[in-house]
Amino acid sequence: MNITMKIKSLHAREILDSRGMWTVEAEVKLADGASAVASVPQGKSTGSSEAAALPAEQAVRGIEKTIAPKVRGRSFADQAAFDAFLNGLDGTANKKRLGANAVLGLSIAFLRACAEAKGMPLWRHIKEVFEAGFGDTTDAKRGSRKKAHPLPRLFMNVVNGGLHAGNNLHFQEYLVIPKTSSLHEAVMLGTHVYHELGQALARSKGKAALNIGDEGGYAPDFKDDAEPFRILRHVIESLHYERSIDFGMDAAATDAKLAEPALGDFYKNFIKQFRPLYLEDPFGEEQFTDFAAITSRYGSTADAGVWIAGDDLTTTNVRRMERAHAEGSVNAVIVKPNQIGSVSEALDAVRAARRYGWRVVASHRSGETNDTFIADFAVGVGADGIKLGAPARGERIAKYNRLLEIEREIR
């Protein structure tokens, strides 16, 4: 299909995210009439190597005053050409001039407008762009892992701690990961566990335990950092879901205020007692060697053992991923487009992960909008997992519903 990817206009505005913080919403209109809007999430727990986000007012002003006059009326061959042009306008290594939030908002809106012009779902357009970027069919085949079904597993955050809550937990996310043959069934199991957990916490800790953190997980105080999993195991056993739920955790250890040997002792006991599928950022963002040690011990292959994932360690940045690969630091990686600041660079990160044989988990942020892009992105790149927070609040539910809609489109 011959698509005219000529920019008619660009616009931007400030909107509020889920934490009441200002963020960027961008709109791209193509000359053929297709148009799309995208809004940009923001993180509270951020790696120091993430691309720079500017204050929303400044980012919007940059779109209107600097980017729009240079892009209006210009044609682009594809997504990579559009993103490269924006990065060239910025001219810095970490987008500190125009802001990763400005560039990403336009990048996603352009991607959406192109999908609209082609008359196809966004996830399918992303799949085409992703596979085309490998350069040859061998790499393209390597880029798509064979799975029981084409949709990612849900990594549902049911208890919040760390920077995402005001409780006494050192660690940031306590996850349940349903094992099912369909996404619809995974959502049913996950939401059932989430609501039953809420009732169990209310009985044992009072109704205030139902208060939630930034990502919708329950956030009361606990006796220790392992108690959420003890309570979860009891809930899951009461529901007879023992064979249908895996555990996972995002330690976000850069901000955990725990050091060795306490961290190592906790992970040893955690893995022995709860047999988790997934452990993210078990050490600080520069501790590549410590990551390598735990990956060697508990996750020696991508298809067996624990998925040891980098987030603050890797920040969706191919250069940091190269180092992690060279040092054997991880066997899985978080991909957050706003960490790097454009769709093309996020796709490059997924391609690199596939070449390394790593699992890929697409992720939301703590400061979210109702934009559902990350759901389409995860399906388009064939991600192994997706983190959307708890099944609570509109900005998270919108993404769960979009995944369900995509499953219907596929089937």
Return the active site residues.
Answer: 215, 336
Give dist(CA 45, CA 163) in Å, integer: 6
What is the C-alpha to C-alpha distance for residues 377 and 207, in angstroms, rounded to an integer? 37
Q: Round the CA-based radius of gyration of the chain to a whole number and report it.
A: 21
How many whole angstroms separate alpha carbon 385 and alpha carbon 140? Answer: 19
Cross-strand partners of 24: 14
Structure tokens at 145: 């892992």
Residue 10, SS3? strand
| H or E segment and range at residue 149 | none
3-state secondary structure of 369: coil
State how far the Cα of 231 lies from the Cα of 220, in Å rounded to an integer.
13
Grouping H, G, I as helix, E, B as strand and the rest as coil, residue 338 is helix
Q: Assign residue 134 a region: left if phi > 0, alpha if psi is -120 to 50, beta otherwise?
A: alpha
Instruction: Return the structure tokens found at 65.
Output: 């005053």
Residue pair 62/99 in contact (Cβ under 8 Å)? The answer is: yes
